[in-house]
Amino acid sequence: MENNPQIQKNRRLPWPWLVLGIALLIMLGAAIIPALIKDKSSPKPIGEFRQSRVDLIIQSNVGGAEVYLDGQHKGFTSDTKYQARLFNLARKTYQITLKKEGYADGMKTVEITGKALTQNVQIDIQPNGEELQ
């Protein structure tokens, strides 16, 4: 009976269908499984990237001026470049004040937006008795 060609043909017949069925299951699984495990959280907004922390460069017209951030002393402007740098500021609005003996205080409100790694602000102070221009 084993030499009967009809029996041997019937034994081989399921293999092509079995391979085709497995291939279809794999393709179907590849299409469905990612949809099932997809992150269901709210979609991320499309737009500009924002830094969580930003460095602020404060430029002035004088060196040695004291730098205050929301009323807290943070340092001095340099004597050579007339600037100070505040590191790792969170995105929010700050009050920057420059003070130097013999000069009127200079103040500016600065909003840290996070659109860049660094932001610049210019705060010029004038000798006492002179008007700001």
pLDDT at 6: 59
Q: Read off the pLDDT of residues 71-91 as tens digits, 9 standing for 90 and up.
A: 999 999 999 999 999 999 999
Domains in the chain: boundaries: 5-37, 53-122
Q: Which amino acid is at 122?
A: Q
Strands laid side by side in the 72-76 sheet: 72-76, 66-69, 93-99, 106-111
Q: For all residues of the chain together, what is the average pLDDT?
A: 84
pLDDT at 8: 57
CATH class of 53-122: mainly beta
Q: Is the pLDDT of residue 7 over 60?
A: no
Q: In sequence order, what are the residues at sequence separation of 6 or more whose Cβ sits closer than 8 angstroms to the Cβ of residue 114?
A: 50, 51, 52, 54, 91
